[in-house]
Amino acid sequence: MKKSILLFVVIAISLLGTTTALAGTSYPWRDHAPPFDFLFENHIDTHQQGKLTGQGKFEGFFYIKFTGDLTEDSVPIATHGNCPEIQDDCTVGWLLKGVPMQAKYLGHEMGQHPTWCVEDADLPNEPGYSHFHWLNESSHADGLTVGEIYDGYLLKLNAIDTFFFDHHGGFLVTPGIDLATHANIETDC
């Protein structure tokens, strides 16, 4: 019984430590200054800063701008901002991890993220990867060709705080892996 309680306490402390460490994670917008100088070469670069790590993997930050408004439950409301224009108002909303990948462009419904087909066998073993973003090409998905294969990164978003993200319908974001706000992949396609 004592071993079980001790194990529970150790796990609880380690989880609290992880949440606290994530909540304190921030990196100011520096307009892609090294070492976070990786560019997708399209619109996402107005609210991401990242770098390539070993084996071509990506890590970085996804930025938000707080609007100054609150939800009925007093949760701060945020959106993506154009960080090069509003530098001091951009703050980290998520930590990003990414793996290089190719995906087939399936289309783009108004008010939603573009949808991509990713082969199930290509998904990382580590759970949480839910957003594909293409490299170069068109600034926005409307310039992409349905059915074509594009190079990019499959991203995992890890929220560092609680906020309401006013984007594509709106989402309550809480610390931890975020599978909802930017989900845009299908594997059964």
Residue for token pair 């796990």: 11
Work out the number of other CB atoms within 10 angstroms of the CB of residue 132.
27
Q: Mind listing the pLDDT tens digit for each residue in 46-103? A: 999 999 998 899 999 999 999 999 999 999 999 998 999 998 999 999 999 999 999 9
Report whether pLDDT(11) > 60.
no
- Beta carbons of 116 and 106 less than 8 angstroms apart: yes
The pTM score is 0.84
Of the two residues 189 and 48, the one the predictor is more confident about is: 48
Structure confidence at residue 25 (pLDDT): 62
Whether the pLDDT of residue 150 is over 90: the answer is yes
DSSP for 7-69 reads HHHHHHHHHHHHHHHHHT------TT-TTS-B--SSGGGGSEEEEE-GGG-EEEEEEEEEEEE
Sorted by where each begins, the domain ranges of the chain are 28-186
**Residue 17 above 90 pLDDT?**
no
Mean pLDDT along residues 120-124: 93
Token pair 């990506």 is at which residue?
58
pLDDT of 85 reads: 95
pLDDT of residue 31: 96
Calculate the average pLDDT of the chain.
Answer: 87
pLDDT at 22: 35
120 or 142, higher pLDDT: 120
